Structure 1
Amino acid sequence: MDDFPFNAESIAQMRSPALFETLSDLSMIWSVGTGAILYDRRFDRDSKLSESLRAVAIASSLGRKSIDSVRSEYADHEFDDNTDPARIKYVEAYRHARAYVDRSLKSLKTDPDHELTVGMYAGAVALQRLQWSMFAAHLLYQLRLTFEADSVARHVLEQVAWAVAVAELDKDDDIDAVQPQKTIGRLRSLVPEAGPLYGELSRTTHAGVATHLSIFEVNDEDQGIVRHGVTDWFRSATVMLALADFWVIAHEHTQRAHVREIVACEPANDYRPVEDRAFLTELRTALQHIRTTEHDRPSERRDTRKPR
C-alpha cells in the first residue's frame, strides 16, 4: 500500500472542493426512505449515476436488499424529470462567472519591484475571500432563498467597494477607519452600474411590506400561503454575473502592478474598466439564453424583480 497515491490528509483535502462542486449544482434524487441524495451532474452525462442513485433510493424505501434487482425491475419505468432548464442555464452562468474570477486570481503574482501598500494587501485578502461569499449567494439563489441571497450579494458588493477604497492607504489605523457600507460611492465612481445594483440589493435586504407580498398568495380555500422563496433565474444570474464583473474590475484596478493578465481595465486610462469589455458580451449572451429558456417553459408564478 506504500504506492497508494492518497493518504488520509490528501483525501480530507479533496472533500471540501468535492462538496462545493456538488453544491454548485443541486442535482438531486429524492425518496421517502432516503430523503434527498445530492450528486454532481457533471459526472452523470450518460445518466448512469442518477439511475444507480435512484435504484438505491427505491431499494431503501421498499426495504429491498438487492439494488441490482430494483434497477432491473424499474429499468423501463419513466421517471419524471423535474429539472428546470432555466435553472441549468443559471448554473452555467454561475460557473462562467466563477471561472472568470478564478482566472483573475491565478493571474495575481506579487512583483517585488512595484508598490504594494498595506491597503492593497488587505484588499487582495478580502477579494480572495469573497469567492466563498459569492458561492454562498449562489447556493441560496439555487434554494430560491432570494432575500437571503441578496443580503449575501450585498455583502460581496460592499467588500469589493472596500477593497477599492483602501487600496491607496498604507496605515492600519487608516484602513480600520474605513467602513465597508460607506464605500459604495468609491466603487460607483469606478463602475457606475454598481450603484443601481446596490440599491436593488438593499431594497430586498431591508425588506418591507411590499417585498414580503411577493412571497404571499391565497389558495383556492382562501388560505394565506407564505412561500419560502421565488423563482427568477434571470435575476439571480444578473446579480452573480454583475458581481463577477465588478470583482475582476476591482481586482485589476487595485492590484494593477501585480496582475499579469489585464482583461477588464484599460492601463492607459488609470486602469478604469473598458466599456466594451469581452465579459459584458458574454454576460448578455448568458442572460439572453436564460430569458429565452424561461419564456419557453410552462408559465408559473415567479418573481420578476430585476436590478434597475
Structure 2
Amino acid sequence: MSAPRILAAHLWDNYSGSPRVFAQALTALAEERADIQLFTSDTEGFLNAGPWTRRVVPYRWVASRWGRLGRYLWSQLYLMVAVWRARKGADLVYVNTLLPFGAALAGKLAGLRVVYHLHETHVEPASLHGLLTGVVRRCADEVAYVSDYLARVLPFPGVPARIIPNALPAEYVSPGERLPALYRFEGLMVASLKAEKGLPAFAQLATDLPDLHFTLIVGAGAAELEAFWRDLPRPGNLTLLPAQKRVKAYYQRAHLLLNLSDPERLPETFGMTILEGMACGLPAIVPPTGGPAELVREGVEGYQVDSRDRAA
C-alpha cells in the first residue's frame, strides 16, 4: 500500500499553540509514512522544520487592519492555486484553523477529502467569520475539535466531527526537577500578543501587587511586543519576554501559572500552556468558561477566575 499523500495548510507560522499542535499532528502522520506537503508562511515558528516538504505562502502580518485583510485574501488566492496545482496524487487536504480557506476550496474542487482541525471560536470581523464557517460547511468532510467546548459552540450540522484534545509535548511527559526560583514568588503567563488574551489585565495585576514578580512570555517578536506595550504599564516587578523556543525552564521556576483571557471577547478553546504548566507542578488560575474549565477543577488543580473581576 502506498503512503498517503497529504496537502496541509496553516496560515501564519509562529510559536503559538495552533502551529505547535499542528506540528505534532503532522509529525505523527509522517511516522505513519504519510507524504506531507505543508503550505504556510515563511516566518519562524514550530512549523519551520519537520518531516514534511514546506511550501511558502506569501503572508505577512501588518498593523493596518485593511492592509492585513488585503494581504490575507491575496494569500488565500495564492494558496488555492498552489494546492490545486499540487492536487495530482494527493489523498487529503488537512486545514489547520478556520483561516486557510483557500486550501479547502481547492481540495473540494479537486474532489479530495478535506479535514479541518479547529482551535478557535471566532474570527473578526463577523463577515469574515461567516465566510470561513460557510467554507467549512460546504467543503469539510470531517472536523476535528480540540475540546468539547469548541464542538458545542461551533457546530457544523451534517459534518462528521471528533474531539482530539491537544497532546502534551513529549518534553513535558517527564517534567524533571524544579529549578531554583529567581524570585520569592513568580506568576507566569504565556500568551499570544492580543489584548483579549488578558495582557492588559496581567499588567494591571503586576501594578496592583508590587511585592510579587510577574513574567509574561508572548508569541511574538521583540519589536511587535514593544509596539503593543507602548501604552500599557510596565512596573519594575514585570518581566516581558518575546517568543521563546523553550518555555519549560520558565514553568520549572515559577510558582503560579495564569491565563487571564477575556471569557467573553476571546474564550479559550483548550489552553496548552495550562497543561504544560500543570505538568511542571504549577497550580493554575484560568477563566471559568471554555476549554480551561475542562482542565482545571476549582480548588483542585487551581482556580477559575474571571479576569474582568479585579476584586477576585
- The verdict on a shared fold, with TM-score over 0.5 as the criterion, is no
Q: Which has the higher contact order (CA 8 A, sep 6+)?
A: 1
TM-score, normalization by structure 1: 0.24
Give the structure with the higher percent strand.
2
Give the structure with the higher percent helix.
1
Larger radius of gyration: 1
